[in-house]
Chain A
Amino acid sequence: MDLHVIWFGLLGALLAGYAVLDGFDLGVGILHPLAKTDEERRIFVNAIGPLWDGNEVWLVTFGGALFAMFPEAYATVFSGFYLAFMLLLFGLIFRAVSLEFRGKIHSPRWRRFWDWSFFASSTVATVIFGVAVGNAIKGIPLDERGVYTGGFFDLLQPYPVLIGLLAVAVFAMHGSMFLHLKTEGEVNERLGPWLWHTWGVFLVLYLLATMYTLIAIPRATANLERAPWLAAVMVVNVIAIANIPRAIFRGRYGQAFLSSTATIVCMVLLFGMALFPNLVTASNDPALSWTIVNAASSEKTMKIGLLIVAIGMPFILAYTSVIYWTFRGKVVLDEHAY
């Protein structure tokens, strides 16, 4: 198989890993205001306490792999979305330190500040991820050198903003299911209705985004016409989304969480289908787009990268599984918790 296609797939896998794993802990941040007491807030924070840092590494590695394998796409997107990505960085910084600092001082004002910061930073980061994906699907204006020629506010057109909201909805849904699994008692009961609320909001936005994409962005479905079997992804996606209320209704919350995981994976696959073979689509002239071929590093680098992945990935999957297994079960607030 062609190295460029393999790396496109591997980047998709890293992005899917990130969206599934950091998706639930960003979702916990988005839902943080639902916790009413300090103990409940601690339960929320400690549900993701041991896990969020490792989850974020998927993003870091995605960024590193994009830099290494498709440097032109990395450089164009990161410099083109300058202010948006700075905002994203501030969001990620505040998220990390909110979690770390929040529990250190027993003062209501101190904790209120970090609670608010945890919520705001998680939400802002999620919106920016969605807006970035939306712009990638829609395409952005590039010059002859492949450099972004628009400004910050050109990124905030209706379609990308809709995808930004969709990202918030899907992570909130994913996070609510994760929290429901990790909690018990009163807070767990209070989360019950939110499984439905977040699913409902997600469904509405998902349908809106699908219609908008089908009508306004013909390029996004071009691959589907070329390879109709790809429609299987859409079918699986619909089944996964439909299975969520079924599983919740029957009290099979683990299955509901797996369904929302499948939903996110399918959405990343759809994103990849909309892009392929482009990485950055030039909205002004298709010939200026960065594709998996013209944006790529040399074959030698791609082979070295594959070797690194082949050596590293089995280890990563092994100890990530072991660590998730270690921290499974309901949240217990011991003296080492946040």
Chain B
Amino acid sequence: MDVVLLSRLQFALTVMFHYLFPPLTIGIGVVLVYLEGMYLRTRDPLYHSAAKFWTRIFALNFALGVATGIVMEFEFGTNWAVYSRFVGDVFGSALAAEGIFAFFLESGFLAVLVFGWNRVGPKMHFFSTVMVSLGSIFSSVWIVVANSWQQTPAGHHLVQMMRDGQPWFVNGEPVMRAEILDFWSLVFNPSTVHRLVHVWIGSFILGSFFIMSISAWYLLKRRHEEFAKRSFAGALTLGTVASLAAIVSGHFQAMNVYDTQPAKLAAFEAHYESGPGDLSLFGIPNDETQSVDFNLAVPGGLSFLVHESFDEPVLGLDAFRPDHRPPVAIPFFSYRVMIGLGTGFIVITLLASFLLWRGRLFDTRWLLWVFVFAVLGAVAANQMGWVAAEVGRQPWIVHPPMVVDPDGAPARDADGFVLYQSVDASLADGTERTMIAGLRTTDGVSEAVAADQVLISIIMFGLIYLLLFVLWLFVLDRKIKAGPEPPGDVPPTDRGLLEAAGALAGSVDSLTGSKGA
């Protein structure tokens, strides 16, 4: 196998495993803020014991998120060195900002959140919870900014690298890279806001479904019922709103994809031929015949979603050069799985909300069983969304922006294909070459790394992550079976962090709390 495919597989494996945890952290973090805030307002000990229980689960997820997240930062350099050289000036800033603005915040205050219950008062603890939650949200901002820039680059230009004050050539070829022009255009590139909102909604869905799953299981087993009812009802509100919001945000995001990466939307919809588009509900894309087998489709549905008219033409894959077309099958299926699941979330959350209103939800055992397992769907929907987005970006690792006519329509090249932006660079011998203003995935991989090295690391990651996954489930299962502590035993103190720290006698000078000299 070649090193590009192996590196892609490794990145996919490690990022998909990692992405089990951040949306849980973001989703549950918001719930923790709510629970502790309600406790401070009402002083109802049930909120306190609920916050403690979910904090334990949150801490476990957080630790796994940290352990698997550092891998991602390394892999840009280890496996995608050429990509890193090309984008570092732009993409690196977003990553560094994530470290400085987000990671320190969440990791620092996590200490107080998890270990500080007896060391600080409830208000300071609440403040720490808010900071951890904010930190995880900031983190999502910067990483989505970075990824969105790969999809819809903006705020930069491509220039030839200099070396010792001279334009740099290797084997007669100029060495090109992206350099920043406008930081805020990078941050608010054309897809950032749409994608960020969708990522947050996905996180709220996963966090709320995770809580509903555990709560539903308690209700079915008739354990911790008061706790479970309150957790379920709270999470259901969040889950219902988020599920409804997902479809709205998804629609606007798809419009945005059509405006900026129409080849990707064509792959999502297996829309091979430009022209009025049907909306396929089910089918199997066939690259040979350039059509969808066993197609069950809404005639004109795609045209309607894109243009609000059933017969307007939609760009198909045939509008792009053959070597600019993404693969179809994976984006098509993952996109459909995501939307299908999202529709399912709306159905079950609305039904559950209705039954809750009628006072019958907690006696509807079959629906509670559905919710015990629905969290798996929420995980799958989050993962499939990313698979569709990232595979649909191919064959580019940095997608080139399109050239648009003055009237906003995509410009075409001499052969009638959609035209991507390009730059002119001069070669060492003085001739000019036009290069597309993006980077192909096949060109992004490390030069210094051989396929057998990547194969070794994939096998190791596979084994280690399998072990972690099994242990995570095992420990999670134990924590869930142990359940929340009965409410009560609430510390009466209400002091600030410094005050609480100051009350711990006997410590002088150093950071480590030595008794000093």
Instruction: Specify whether A and B are partners.
Output: yes
List A residues at the B interface (Cβ < 8 Å).
Answer: 24, 49-51, 53-54, 56-57, 59-61, 63-65, 67-72, 74-83, 85-86, 88-90, 92-94, 96-97, 99-101, 104-105, 144-145, 147-149, 152, 178, 181-182, 252-255, 257-258, 294, 297-298, 300-301, 304-305, 308-309, 312-313, 315-316, 319-330, 334, 336-337
* Contact assessment for B114 and A50 in the assembled complex, using a CB-CB cutoff below 8 Å: yes
* Contact assessment for A313 and B100 in the assembled complex, using a CB-CB cutoff below 8 Å: yes
* Contact assessment for B180 and A304 in the assembled complex, using a CB-CB cutoff below 8 Å: yes
Complex partner residue of B512 from A77, A181, A316, A337, CB under 8 angstroms:
A181
Residues of B within 8 A of A93 (CB): 67-68, 70-71, 464, 468
Is B318 at the interface (CB under 8 A from chain A)? no
Residues of B within 8 A of A327 (CB): 111, 115-116, 119, 513
Chain B 443-458 residues near chain A, CB threshold 8 A:
446-449, 453, 456-457
Q: Can you list the 8 inter-chain pairs with the closest CB atoms, starting with the nearest?
A: A71-B88, A328-B513, A78-B77, A68-B92, A254-B514, A61-B99, A50-B111, A79-B81
* Contact assessment for B93 and A54 in the assembled complex, using a CB-CB cutoff below 8 Å: no
Complex partner residue of A182 from B93, B177, B513, CB under 8 angstroms:
B513
In the bound complex, CA of A90 to CA of B511 (Å): 30
Is B323 at the interface (CB under 8 A from chain A)? no
Assuming the A-B contacts A93-B71, A294-B163, are A104 and B92 also in contact, with contact meaning beta carbons closer than 8 angstroms in the complex?
A: no
Is B354 at the interface (CB under 8 A from chain A)? no
Residues of B within 8 A of A294 (CB): 162-164
* Contact assessment for B89 and A71 in the assembled complex, using a CB-CB cutoff below 8 Å: yes
In the bound complex, CA of A334 to CA of B504 (Å): 15
In the bound complex, CA of A301 to CA of B171 (Å): 28
In the bound complex, CA of A323 to CA of B511 (Å): 9
List B residues at the A interface (Cβ < 8 Å).
Answer: 59-60, 63-64, 66-68, 70-71, 73-74, 76-79, 81-82, 84-85, 87-93, 95-101, 103-105, 107-112, 114-120, 131, 162-164, 170-171, 175, 177, 179-181, 183, 446-449, 453, 456-457, 460, 464, 468, 471, 475, 478-479, 497-498, 500-501, 504, 506-517
Q: Which of B74, B81, B501 has the most CB of A within 10 A?
A: B81
* Contact assessment for A82 and B448 in the assembled complex, using a CB-CB cutoff below 8 Å: yes
Complex partner residue of B73 from A63, A77, A144, CB under 8 angstroms:
A63
Residues of A within 8 A of B64 (CB): 96-97, 100
Count of CB-CB pairs between chains A and B under 8 Å: 290
* Contact assessment for B513 and A330 in the assembled complex, using a CB-CB cutoff below 8 Å: yes
In the bound complex, CA of A334 to CA of B506 (Å): 19
In the bound complex, CA of A60 to CA of B135 (Å): 15
* Contact assessment for A64 and B73 in the assembled complex, using a CB-CB cutoff below 8 Å: yes
Residues of A within 8 A of B103 (CB): 57, 60-61
In the bound complex, CA of A315 to CA of B96 (Å): 15
Residues of A within 8 A of B478 (CB): 104-105
Assuming the A-B contacts A56-B107, A57-B107, A86-B78, are A257 and B510 also in contact, with contact meaning beta carbons closer than 8 angstroms in the complex?
A: yes
* Contact assessment for A181 and B100 in the assembled complex, using a CB-CB cutoff below 8 Å: no
Residues of A within 8 A of B515 (CB): 181, 253-254
Assuming the A-B contacts A54-B108, A254-B510, A324-B511, are A96 and B67 also in contact, with contact meaning beta carbons closer than 8 angstroms in the complex?
A: yes
In the bound complex, CA of A334 to CA of B89 (Å): 47
Residues of A within 8 A of B457 (CB): 82-83, 86
Residues of B within 8 A of A85 (CB): 74, 77-78
Q: Which residue of chain A has its CB nearest to the CB of B500?
A: A326
* Contact assessment for A147 and B513 in the assembled complex, using a CB-CB cutoff below 8 Å: no
Residues of A within 8 A of B77 (CB): 63, 67, 74-75, 77-79, 85
Complex partner residue of B78 from A82, A90, A328, CB under 8 angstroms:
A82
Residues of B within 8 A of A79 (CB): 77-79, 81, 446-449
* Contact assessment for B82 and A75 in the assembled complex, using a CB-CB cutoff below 8 Å: yes
Residues of A within 8 A of B446 (CB): 75, 79, 82
In the bound complex, CA of A337 to CA of B63 (Å): 15
* Contact assessment for A96 and B516 in the assembled complex, using a CB-CB cutoff below 8 Å: no
Assuming the A-B contacts A61-B99, A67-B77, A96-B67, are A254 and B509 also in contact, with contact meaning beta carbons closer than 8 angstroms in the complex?
A: yes
Q: Which of B59, B77, B87 has the most CB of A within 10 A?
A: B77
Q: Which residue of chain A has its CB nearest to the CB of B447?
A: A147
Complex partner residue of B116 from A51, A326, A329, CB under 8 angstroms:
A326
* Contact assessment for B88 and A74 in the assembled complex, using a CB-CB cutoff below 8 Å: yes
Assuming the A-B contacts A79-B448, A145-B447, A300-B180, are A89 and B74 also in contact, with contact meaning beta carbons closer than 8 angstroms in the complex?
A: yes
Q: Which residue of chain B has its CB nearest to the CB of A316?
A: B104
Q: From residue B502, how far is it (CB to closest CB) to chain A in Å?
A: 9
Residues of A within 8 A of B131 (CB): 319
Residues of A within 8 A of B175 (CB): 145
Q: From residue A317, how far is it (CB to closest CB) to chain B in Å?
A: 10
Assuming the A-B contacts A67-B76, A301-B180, are A323 and B111 also in contact, with contact meaning beta carbons closer than 8 angstroms in the complex?
A: yes
Residues of A within 8 A of B514 (CB): 181, 253-254, 257
* Contact assessment for A53 and B111 in the assembled complex, using a CB-CB cutoff below 8 Å: yes
* Contact assessment for A71 and B92 in the assembled complex, using a CB-CB cutoff below 8 Å: yes
Query: Can you list 6 A-B contacts with CB-CB less than 8 angstroms, sorted by A residue number?
Result: A78-B77, A82-B453, A86-B457, A97-B468, A253-B515, A312-B97
* Contact assessment for B471 and A97 in the assembled complex, using a CB-CB cutoff below 8 Å: yes
Assuming the A-B contacts A56-B66, A64-B99, A254-B516, are A321 and B93 also in contact, with contact meaning beta carbons closer than 8 angstroms in the complex?
A: no
Residues of A within 8 A of B170 (CB): 144-145
Complex partner residue of B180 from A61, A82, A145, A298, CB under 8 angstroms:
A298
Q: From residue A300, how far is it (CB to closest CB) to chain B in Å?
A: 5
Q: From residue B101, how far is it (CB to closest CB) to chain A in Å?
A: 6
In the bound complex, CA of A182 to CA of B105 (Å): 25
In the bound complex, CA of A90 to CA of B71 (Å): 9
In the bound complex, CA of A101 to CA of B497 (Å): 28
Q: From residue B54, how far is it (CB to closest CB) to chain A in Å?
A: 14
In the bound complex, CA of A89 to CA of B177 (Å): 28
Q: Which of A71, A77, A330 has the most CB of B within 10 A?
A: A71
Complex partner residue of B471 from A60, A101, A300, A322, CB under 8 angstroms:
A101
Q: Which residue of chain A has its CB nearest to the CB of B124?
A: A326
In the bound complex, CA of A319 to CA of B103 (Å): 13
Q: Which residue of chain A has its CB nearest to the CB of B111?
A: A50
Residues of A within 8 A of B116 (CB): 50, 326-327, 336
* Contact assessment for B517 and A255 in the assembled complex, using a CB-CB cutoff below 8 Å: yes
